[in-house]
Amino acid sequence: MRRRTPGGARRWLGAAAGAAAVVVTAGCTFFSLDPEVEEGERVEGTGEAPMLTALVESGDLPPLEERLPDEPLVVEPHDRVGVYGGEWNSAILGVGDWPWLGRTVGYENLTRWDPEWQEVIPNLAESWEYNEDATELTFTLRAGLRWSDGEPFTSDDVVFAFNDIFNNEALTPVAAADPGTAEKVDERTFTITFDEPDALWAGYDLLQYQVVTKPKHYLERFHIEYNPDADELAEEEGYADWVEMFEAEAGVIDSSRYWQNPDIPTMYPWRVVEPLADSGRMVLERNPYYWKVDTEGNQLPYIDRVVFDILPDEEVMLVRALNGEFDMHSRHFNTLENRPTLAEARESGGYDFFELRPAEMNTAMISLNLTHEDEELRETFNDRDFRVALSHAVNRQDIIDVVYREQGEPWQGAPREDSPFHNEELAKQYTEYDPDLANGILDEAGYDERDSDGFRTSPRGETVRFTLSVPTDFRPDIVDSMEMVVGFWQELDIDVELNTEDRSLWQTRRENNEHDANVWSGDNGMMDAMYDPRWYAPTQSGESNFAIPWAQWYVSDGEDPRSQEPPADVREHLELYDAVQAEPDPGAREELMREFLSVSQERFYAMGVSLSPTGYGIVADDFHNVPGSMPSSGNYNDPGPTNPEQYFIEE
């Protein structure tokens, strides 16, 4: 279970001192590397888009110096200072595809990842600090921030989001999980208090983007604690009660609702003018109060408008891409199978590829259910020698050659080579294809006898028989590779069958601990390994497929009735991850994470197949400042950390 650590008075400043300077100066840092600007010199906002200048001249918008914060955050353009204007054309697949919005036009948290995903850097918050045991986290916002309607963005907004929204059980089930509470120190400073140590929160947490999208001055009239007549207002607006109305306005549970409300003020580079829907298009226009500038003092973003065509399926999206109708896109259509077709159309479509370096560390993670309800299978699956033998029986290179077009290499569930947590032994152990060795290990472990049908029996005399379950509507490559894996295992005289299931049924069986063995892609092989180590220990109650009940025990402190208490050695491993979460010093925390992964190597909970190949996106020839290569992960939220606000269009 997650545990507390002793308290103390020592403070840890969030990010390095140099990184803190990044957000307020134009010195030689990530946000500004202009050698002509002296270290420590402020960059004043001097330039703005012509469409905003026209509004200033007409008296409909305050001048630039009144709209920018006291010290704007300086963003260094990837290639060069851009020009204003133009329209970024992209696409989504309906309301459910809203995460693409968060990754392109909605990546603004209190902190953010640097473009290379090496460290957490300041953003809306200029600094942060933890107490000794990581149960208190104090943020300081940059001075002079404003919402897109011109109202100040202050500590009051974040405290409102924490205490009145995410700790309100009527509004969200998050409240029952004790997300922490916030206390205002002053207009720019607030402290979050956690029930358990959480030194990872400042770097990444799902609440990070939520607590900066809930403007108090706009939302309080819909909240019963601030407006006693909120239920009457809800009835007037056609809602059942104030809770339903608040959800429609703020998108607390369903984040897509946020993008369906063009009236809610934002801190993003662009604001919604035509909302998200299931068809048609969604349109956003520049936020006149956006709080970042380039190295010459020009207010960002460069691009005036972003348009998302709302398409019915991936096939239509592929056709649009081939026709050159997207300026920059890297979602749904950009599969390994489609790459040759897209490559051929680059010249006619007026686009090229950029590289996506995946955080996904494995094409397929195979999980034998270590918490199986059947005692015989549980004993067999928990036999490490049995798992090692099955791993040696898989001809990974054959799978790579046949299914993945010779892209990738044999790999276990382990962080990638360019991750700070790379462990070569963890990545490569038991990946050698050696059926003789596999048979020998099984024989030595007591699986040397056969039943009347020629299948191996366990040391307890039972036939080794199980099913490997694969979701049919997830990734066809996994189905293809698992057909080969089952064949390799059958050659060991194991009675194993492949069972393809509807994804919803597959998920239900997994969550209810009803599967024998299953397979899913291997997430979290970069920096995200530390934030969600689901494959390295049973920490994720919905995703640690090898032992869902152990993970349920961990996240619920044993209170989940579906949970099973893990063995002592697994509990010790989980306590090591508790230490990772409780360590505020980034360097010490990474060392603890490496120690945690060394135990994962010993435990060998699940087995992988191959390292996921590099991905790609497309970018139009006249669309600039997109890096030629970037990390790709749901945790990193590409392309957000590459600063889409500094993309620009020029023939």
As a whole number, mean pLDDT of residues 76-96 equals 97
- Same-domain check for residues 525 and 393: yes
Q: Structure tokens of 358?
A: 């995946």
Question: Is 338 a domain residue?
Answer: yes
Question: Is 593 a domain residue?
Answer: yes
- Same-domain check for residues 456 and 598: yes
pLDDT of the residue at 43: 56
Residue with tokens 């010459």: 296
Domain boundary among 267, 284, 309: 267
Q: Structure tokens of 153?
A: 């963005």
CATH number of the domain where residue 527 is located: 3.10.105.10
- Same-domain check for residues 487 and 599: yes
Question: Is 17 a domain residue?
Answer: no
Q: How many domains is the chain partitioned into structurally? A: 3
Run of H or E residues at 112: strand 111-113
**Total residue length of the chain:** 651
Question: Is 336 a domain residue?
Answer: yes
Residue 449: Cβ within 10 Å count: 13
Domain residue limits at 48? 44-106+271-355+616-627+636-650
Question: Is 26 a domain residue?
Answer: no
Residue with tokens 């005692």: 375
Question: For 409-431, what is each residue's pLDDT tens digit?
Answer: 999 999 999 999 999 999 999 99
- Same-domain check for residues 458 and 579: yes
Distance (Å) of CA 205 to CA 83, 196, 356, 593 = 34, 14, 23, 18
Q: Looking at per-residue confidence, does 17 or 448 come out higher?
A: 448
Q: Could you tell me the pLDDT band of residue 515, with boundaries at 50, 70 and 90?
A: very high
pLDDT of the residue at 30: 35
Query: In this structure, are residues 261 and 247 in contact, taking their beta carbons and an 8 Å threshold?
Result: no
Question: For 128-138, what is each residue's pLDDT tens digit?
Answer: 999 999 999 99
**Position 570, amino acid:** V
- Same-domain check for residues 99 and 131: no
Query: In this structure, are residues 32 and 25 in contact, taking their beta carbons and an 8 Å threshold?
Result: yes
Strand partners, 140: 127, 189
DSSP string, 535-583: TTSS--TTT-TT-HHHHHHHHHTT--TT--PPPHHHHHHHHHHHHHHH-
Q: Looking at per-residue confidence, does 626 or 177 come out higher?
A: 626
- Same-domain check for residues 502 and 520: yes
Question: Is 24 a domain residue?
Answer: no
Is the backbone peptide bond immediately before 641 cis, with ω within 30 degrees of 0?
Answer: no
Distance (Å) of CA 420 to CA 202, 417, 579, 587, 591 = 19, 8, 18, 11, 10
Run of H or E residues at 282: strand 280-286
Domain boundary among 252, 267, 282: 267
Question: For 334-361, what is each residue's pLDDT tens digit?
Answer: 998 999 999 999 999 999 999 999 999 9
Q: Cα 236 to the chain's mean position, in Å?
A: 39
As a whole number, the mean pLDDT across the chain is 92
Query: In this structure, are residues 100 and 255 in contact, taking their beta carbons and an 8 Å threshold?
Result: no
Above 70 in pLDDT, residue 16?
Answer: no
DSSP class of residue 163? I
Query: In this structure, are residues 108 and 212 in contact, taking their beta carbons and an 8 Å threshold?
Result: yes
- Same-domain check for residues 379 and 436: yes
Above 70 in pLDDT, residue 471?
Answer: yes
Above 80 in pLDDT, residue 287?
Answer: yes
Opening angle at CA 326, ends 322 and 328, nearest 5: 115
CA diameter of the chain: 90
Query: In this structure, are residues 97 and 546 in contact, taking their beta carbons and an 8 Å threshold?
Result: no
Q: Could you tell me the pLDDT band of residue 45, with boundaries at 50, 70 and 90?
A: low
Domain boundary among 267, 297, 328: 267
CB contact set of 405 (below 8 Å; sequence gap of 6+)? 336
- Same-domain check for residues 402 and 433: yes
- Same-domain check for residues 205 and 231: yes
Q: Structure tokens of 551?
A: 């993970």
Q: Cα 202 to the chain's mean position, in Å?
A: 14
pLDDT of the residue at 44: 56
Question: For 189-239, what is each residue's pLDDT tens digit?
Answer: 999 999 999 999 999 888 898 999 999 999 999 999 999 999 999 999 999
Question: For 293-310, what is each residue's pLDDT tens digit?
Answer: 999 999 999 999 999 999
CATH number of the domain where residue 193 is located: 3.90.76.10
Q: Could you tell me the pLDDT band of residue 25, with boundaries at 50, 70 and 90?
A: very low
In percent, how much of the chain has pLDDT > 70? 93
Query: In this structure, are residues 468 and 488 in contact, taking their beta carbons and an 8 Å threshold?
Result: no
Residue with tokens 């092989």: 525
Query: In this structure, are residues 304 and 89 in contact, taking their beta carbons and an 8 Å threshold?
Result: no
- Same-domain check for residues 295 and 368: no
Above 60 in pLDDT, residue 444?
Answer: yes
Query: In this structure, are residues 61 and 286 in contact, taking their beta carbons and an 8 Å threshold?
Result: no
Query: In this structure, are residues 92 and 320 in contact, taking their beta carbons and an 8 Å threshold?
Result: no
Report the distance separating Cα 532 and Cα 225, nearest Å.
Answer: 35
pLDDT of the residue at 485: 98
Question: Is 19 a domain residue?
Answer: no
Question: For 592-607, what is each residue's pLDDT tens digit?
Answer: 999 999 999 999 999 9
- Same-domain check for residues 69 and 178: no
CATH number of the domain where residue 341 is located: 3.40.190.10
Which of 184, 261, 236 has the alpha carbon at shortest distance from 227?
236
Residue 385: Cβ within 10 Å count: 13
Report the distance separating Cα 366 and Cα 609, nearest Å.
Answer: 8
- Same-domain check for residues 377 and 492: yes
Question: For 500-509, what is each residue's pLDDT tens digit?
Answer: 999 889 999 9
pLDDT of the residue at 38: 40
Question: Is 5 a domain residue?
Answer: no
